Structure 1
Amino acid sequence: MSLWLRSVPRLRAAFLPASASRLALGDRRVLREEPRQRTYLLRRTLSSGGVKWLWPIDKESLSFHLVHKHGTRMGLYLMTLSSVNPLKTEDVERALFHLQRKNPAMRVGFRLRGNVWWFCEQDWKTHKVDFKILNEGTSSAEEIRRMCEKGFPDGATWKFRMIPRGKEAPSVMSEVKEDFPYQYNIIVTSHHALSDGLSASLIAKQMVELLNDVILGRHINDEATSQFIQREELWEVESRIIKKLEEDPQRHDYVKQTMPLSTPLLLQAFPRPSVDQVTTRYLSRIIDEDVTQKFVKQCKSHGVTINSAFSAVINIAIVSLMQKSGISQQSYQIAGNHIVSMLRYLKRTPRDAIGGYAVLLSHISRMTNDHANNFWEYAKEINRELKESLTSELPLEQKMARLLAQPDLVEEWARKPPPVVHDYGITNIGHFPMPERHLDDRVLVTDVASVAMVHNYIHMLLFLVYTFKGRCSFTLSYATDYIADDTATLLADEVISVYRKVSEVNGI
């Protein structure tokens, strides 16, 4: 059984010694700790020796910190910027300086205080963002691998890389090529304890806005544009969920039954490859704007979300590959892992809070040939099930049920993750946030891809879905010890094929 985002309510978190090999946080004395205990200690800000101590890190953040050292659980955005003139290094650095100044999470690092890990605020005047300009022609895929290999050493919790593409490189947006002839690949990543996918996308958007401001000499005010706060409300919610499951054994049993335990279906037809070095590879697909709009129209007419419909597309594609490989069954059980935001359950937490607010929802779909032949009815079934799960707080219940079932062995898990039990993961940020266009802009975002490192993790493959410039795009990140390159390509192409078919008609 896998254990992903494992925050323990009111961990007070702390006090997590760096040397602890077993962080057995399932102890009920910890789980039942009163919400108000140690509040003063964690809320005060301390300073000593030039370090501004914030509060001890919670267990969930520590789990991110440990596995990042193994080069996994990291998310990245790969953007293409097109500019009127060649970009100057000092302009980009100045934009990042303002970005760090206006967003507290970009100044936060991790340090030991005694034998306990703490969040600490770094001096933004002297501690610069980790930014490098690389040589033209540098492989973005290879640079992403290098950025992720060692995690975030030396307090560098945000990383930015810029790769010139050359004036002659083709542009995805050919209509702006003449006015914006210079192109650059920008890679953005951050520590997952400080930023989830949505937060990182907003930071990437603001970076482009500030770069335009710097180039044009606009005034940039001192106003902060986000907050980095303790997740006390989340701990309170999780404490309530723990108590609910302990007092309602029937509900607890039901929650456990909603999480898969079996080998992923896809591996029956496509056995795991043998590799010398485990890593993550990825491939991206872009769907034409007209097909995207037809798909969106179908979703609206059938009353389903785009995420539910896309999940149905993936399920149909997996079953199609199974059948093409010669495996035919009366029904199929497909387990999806949906990444959703915990902010939907938090009422007091401000919407501009930046941090790790993602949680997983396991969803098991039992699919028959009737479902495949009546796609939109199947999509409505998935939409209903996902909506009920989100409304009932099932993602948090699953998270706490995993915690109750298995003591948290953070460092052991980082060394040897549990076997994968889901067929796929999916995260959908919707429309990628774009800067508002101005007539005098000197820099535009002309392309974007979302990438995640999933090897030695709970996913064997993860679909990262988003809409950019009216076109649906997705990246398929896959672990090389579970999925072969050919299998990943077959699946991505089958997803495109199913997506196109269901966009045209009311059923397959």
Structure 2
Amino acid sequence: MGLWLRSVPRLRAPFLPASAPRLALGNRRVFLEEEPRQRGFLLRRTLSSGGVKWLWPIDRESLSFHLVHHHGTRMGLYLMTLNSVNPLNTEDVERALFHLQRKNPALRVDFRLRENVWWFYEQDGNKVDFKMLSEGTSSSDEIQRMCETGFRDGATWKFRMIPRGKETPSVMPEVKGDFSYQYHFIMASHHALSDGLSASLMAKQVVELLNDVILGRHINDKTTSQFIQREELCEIESRIMKKLEGDPQRHDYVKQTMPLSTPLFLQAFPRPSVDQVTTRHLSRIIDSDVTQKFEKQCKSHGVTINSAFSAVINTAIVSLMQKSGISQQSYQIAGNQVVNMLRYLKQTPRDAMGGYGLLLSHISRVTNDRANNFWEYAKEVNRELREGLTSELPLEQKMARLMAQPNLVEEWAQKPPPIVHDYGITNVGHFPMPERHSDDQVLVTDVASVAMVHKYIHMLLFLVYTFRGRCRFSLSYATDYIADDTAILLADEVISVYRKVSEGNGK
């Protein structure tokens, strides 16, 4: 069954007792009933209000992040490898994070119930959640620990550092002599306060501030980002909903742009049986010369890197279908594109931080001749994605889902919908790097981006970026949908297709 069970003229709140926690949504309020084991925790958070600066009632989008975070999912993390001239001490890192918090208001924001309505609030003097862990701690295990409890402790940003020792090999051996001490630095943030792009800018700023602290430079508290109310987004969503209500033909078209069936990928690779559902991750790095060739091909064919990479994934999936014995005239691949909704917000400043991710469902029908002529196919994907973005299709799809499922926020948090996309993809482009200085004490030598996707709308998510001239991607996958061997098989096939088409080959 899909989402299109019914259509309603407006969002409606479920009928719950008057004592249930409420969320203010403009002139509406959504009543939320928390799980019994959570309710005591949530209410305890309202008891202390000393030094609190109330901001504004939480919006629907932010609440959706908050509820699913309670289930340990939909979180994004960066794992940076830092190399330093001298051993790093806890006090210097804490000082750098203190300044990061002073410069970025979103790092001081949390959620609290106020007269049974969820609000954003800011509390000056909050200490950043940072821990220096012992050498040898598993980074992957620590990522799981950071995510499994969500952000229930009030810390909406979490930072961890793990010493790796001087003997640990470096992906940049040319700097190991001068920067011989190595660390893993993990950063996780609440998605209502930071998306992938803004979090990458925070990661960059941490390293800049750490260098300043170690060198004893003066650091001012001038803000470098804003955390603002999303009134413009609410106005746009209201306009889109009225448009769909008044144009049934367009509404029907929008619904047809979103898949309803089981992903094709699962036909060849059935779901595994697992005792515990979680997310696992694997990463791949593509050589700089191949990356440059791929980017050159994109430019010569007038295709964005994201469109071309999506076409690579689709081609790789079709190849695996064929190798598994599934032979068809055409293959329908459903991808979920993560785009930045700031492109639609004209009055919102570009330095605004928050959860500005937006999903664009894209259904691509790949015939054998398209698969054999890759760059012509990539042009088609590029055209379809461009037309979708230009026509506000991501916003239309979002509002159409809400019109069909008014209580979507609460329902998805309690019971995630059936998976209907073969994959999701998010691309932050070039990972921002601090400007290099001759007296630098700390360098970023590697970075990995991962996400928790289980119990939500993705069974696997490609996180794509370029770092120091090399294309990299992480594949985060839900263990109850994708087996480890299957994830490796897909990642390797993506690399194979990427290399071939970088040479201009059609296959």
Please report the TM-score for the alignment, with normalisation by the length of structure 2. Answer: 0.92
- Deviation digits for residues 36-66 of structure 1, max 9, x if unmatched? xxxxxxxxxxx96321111111111111111
Report how many aligned residue pairs link the two structures: 481
CA RMSD of aligned residues (A): 2.2
Q: Name the structure 2 match of 1:105.
A: 106
Q: Distance in 1 between matches of 2:343 and 2:375?
A: 27
Contact 2:24 2:59 in 1 (8 A): no
- Mapping of residues 132-171 of structure 1, within 5 Å: 132-171=131-170
Q: Name the structure 2 match of 1:40.
A: none
- Mapping of residues 319-398 of structure 1, within 5 Å: 319-398=318-397
Segments of 5+ residues of structure 2 without an aligned counterpart are 30-47
Q: Name the structure 2 match of 1:78.
A: 79
Cα offset for 1:10?
Answer: 11
* Residue identity matched to 1:56: P
Percent identity, aligned pairs only, is: 83
Using a 3 Å threshold, how does the CA distance of structure 1 residues 17 and 496 change in structure 2: closer, same or farther?
Answer: farther
- Deviation digits for residues 408-445 of structure 1, max 9, x if unmatched? 24333212111100000000000001111111100000
Contact 1:476 1:492 in 2 (8 A): yes
Contact 2:84 2:181 in 1 (8 A): yes
* Residue identity matched to 1:187: I
Q: Distance in 2 between matches of 1:367 and 1:391?
A: 23
Q: Name the structure 1 match of 2:94.
A: 93
* Residue identity matched to 2:413: A
Contact 1:260 1:422 in 2 (8 A): yes
Q: Distance in 2 between matches of 1:248 and 1:131?
A: 51
Q: Name the structure 2 match of 1:467.
A: 466
Contact 1:295 1:502 in 2 (8 A): yes
* Residue identity matched to 2:304: T
Using a 3 Å threshold, how does the CA distance of structure 1 residues 18 and 166 change in structure 2: closer, same or farther?
Answer: farther
Classify the secondary structure of the residue corresponding to 2:140.
helix
Contact 2:24 2:117 in 1 (8 A): no
Contact 2:21 2:118 in 1 (8 A): no
- Deviation digits for residues 360-412 of structure 1, max 9, x if unmatched? 00000000110111000000000000000000000000001111111224333
Q: Distance in 1 between matches of 2:372 and 2:324?
A: 19
- Deviation digits for residues 281-302 of structure 1, max 9, x if unmatched? 0000000000000000000000
Q: Name the structure 1 match of 2:250.
A: 251
Q: Distance in 2 between matches of 1:368 and 1:168?
A: 51
Classify the secondary structure of the residue corresponding to 1:483.
coil
Q: Distance in 1 between matches of 2:458 and 2:370?
A: 25
Cα offset for 1:154?
Answer: 2.4
- Mapping of residues 365-444 of structure 1, within 5 Å: 365-444=364-443
Classify the secondary structure of the residue corresponding to 1:456.
coil
Classify the secondary structure of the residue corresponding to 1:153.
coil
- Deviation digits for residues 85-130 of structure 1, max 9, x if unmatched? 000110000000000001000000011112111111011x3x1110
- Deviation digits for residues 154-186 of structure 1, max 9, x if unmatched? 210000000001100000011111110001000
Q: Name the structure 2 match of 1:279.
A: 278
Contact 2:11 2:402 in 1 (8 A): no
Deviation larger for 57-66 or 368-377: 57-66
- Mapping of residues 198-237 of structure 1, within 5 Å: 198-237=197-236
Q: Name the structure 2 match of 1:34.
A: none
Classify the secondary structure of the residue corresponding to 2:153.
helix
Contact 1:18 1:117 in 2 (8 A): no
Q: Distance in 2 between matches of 1:10 and 1:202?
A: 35
Q: Distance in 1 between matches of 2:299 and 2:189?
A: 35
Using a 3 Å threshold, how does the CA distance of structure 1 residues 487 and 17 change in structure 2: closer, same or farther?
Answer: farther
Contact 2:3 2:260 in 1 (8 A): no
Contact 1:17 1:115 in 2 (8 A): no
Q: Name the structure 2 match of 1:185.
A: 184
Q: Name the structure 1 match of 2:42.
A: none
* Residue identity matched to 1:100: Q
* Residue identity matched to 2:201: L
Contact 1:9 1:238 in 2 (8 A): no
Classify the secondary structure of the residue corresponding to 1:243.
helix
Segments of 5+ residues of structure 1 without an aligned counterpart are 32-46
Q: Distance in 2 between matches of 1:201 and 1:154?
A: 24
Using a 3 Å threshold, how does the CA distance of structure 1 residues 250 and 411 change in structure 2: closer, same or farther?
Answer: closer
Q: Distance in 1 between matches of 2:439 and 2:3?
A: 50
Contact 1:18 1:112 in 2 (8 A): no
- Deviation digits for residues 219-260 of structure 1, max 9, x if unmatched? 101210000000111111111111111111111110000000
Using a 3 Å threshold, how does the CA distance of structure 1 residues 150 and 329 change in structure 2: closer, same or farther?
Answer: same
Q: Distance in 1 between matches of 2:155 and 2:21?
A: 24
1:487 and 2:486 correspond: yes
Using a 3 Å threshold, how does the CA distance of structure 1 residues 18 and 85 change in structure 2: closer, same or farther?
Answer: farther
Using a 3 Å threshold, how does the CA distance of structure 1 residues 256 and 212 change in structure 2: closer, same or farther?
Answer: same
